[in-house]
Amino acid sequence: MKIGRLLLRLTVGGFFFGHGTQKLFGWFGGNGLDATAQGFEHIGLRPGRRNAIAAGTAEAGGGALLATGLATPLAASVLTATMLTAIRTVHGKKGPWLSNGGYEYNVVLIAAVLTLAEAGRERPGRVATGALLTGALGALGAHLANAAQPAPVVPEAAGDSNGSEPVAQDE
């Protein structure tokens, strides 16, 4: 294996693993599953816990596979799906630039995992294209599953005793 490819695998795979375990277990300074689930609910990924487990598992598992060089096309697919979902739900509306919370970093990660998926393969274009399409289908599946979930019922806040409207509080 080329040293550059190994460094890319270890770096990108290692950071994905860390990011996923932040979501799942609160490792490496993460917030853990409950807080991640609440955050996912807040951005519209419902049910939050199921989506948090799926994202954390995809990132930690995909990162581990990528770092070790095992099932790289599968790893690239699940990581691509996760990054496309992040772009759709959080970063896309902010434009491309990371300085504005945009999606440039997510796109770079997608390019890196797809490059690793095709590196050293007999038919590299087909492997990367297959991983990209599978990842896009996974992201679409997550979107459709989320869209099928009913919106949460938010109880109305009680007004004060004179019947006036409740005062909204900052989040």
Kindly report, residue by residue over 42-76, the tens digit of the pLDDT: 999 999 999 999 999 999 999 999 999 999 999 99
pLDDT (0 to 100) of residue 134 = 84
Give the residue, 34 or 121, on which the prediction is more confident: 34
Task: State the pLDDT confidence band at 164, using cuts at 50, 70 and 90.
Answer: very low
Residue spans of the domains in the chain: they are 3-147
pLDDT score at 151: 67
Contact predicate 148/47, CB 8 Å:
no
Which residue did the predictor score with more confidence, 92 or 143? 92
**What's the confidence (pLDDT) of residue 169?**
33
Q: How many CA atoms lie within 13 A of 109 on its CB side?
A: 29
Mean pLDDT of the chain: 86
